[in-house]
Amino acid sequence: MQTVEQLYKLYEKPVFRYFYGLTTDYYLAEELTQETFFQVLRTIPMFRGDAQITTWLYKVARNVYGTWKRKKANHSLPLDNESLQIPDPKEPPDFLEQKEKVALLFRTLRQLPENYREVLWLREWQDLSYEEIAVITSHSVPWVKTTLHRARLHFRQLYGKEEGLI
């Protein structure tokens, strides 16, 4: 069994990215990541080993997010679209184009229903298996596959609208 310190070193960044994908708020993602590892510290003696440690860790993270969501209204600050679009003359054009694509990606993600955003983020950016996502979300593998398919379709549609292609 790994120590909490080892878990933190290995999984702090993936857990942070998970929260950032859900909230699109850097500081909130940091806060929720810290709370997750605090909860891991408290509950690791109860870990039975029924699932992989990573799956259990994401389950803890999901519970932390659910608790935060119930306690607080959505406090995520929207990205300032104007500041994202002001070109810096010192930045190369490729960097600016990439920056615009990232801003478009996050605008599109924010428009997705939360269950779509979570499943899509876990699969595409966290590279988790269908089985791991099913355990984390407390749903079946067929539910995960169906939801992921719908999320991808909805994402493509929204992305196309945002980009002006549809």
pLDDT digits (tens, 9 = 90+) for 52-79: 888 999 999 999 999 998 887 544 444 4
Tell me the pTM.
0.67
**pLDDT above 60: residue 110:** yes
CATH topology of domain 4-71: Rna Polymerase Sigma Factor; Chain: A (1.10.1740)
Residue ranges per structural domain of the chain: 4-71, 81-163
Q: Which fold has domain 81-163?
A: Arc Repressor Mutant, subunit A (1.10.10)
Q: In the prediction, which pLDDT does 165 show? A: 66
Cα(98)–Cα(139) distance, rounded to whole angstroms? Answer: 35
Residue 122 is predicted with a pLDDT of 92
Segment among 18-27, 74-83, 115-124, 152-161 with least mean pLDDT: 74-83
Average pLDDT for residues 102-111, to the nearest whole number? 86
Burial class for 50, CB neighbours closer than 10 Å (0-12, 13-18, 19+): exposed
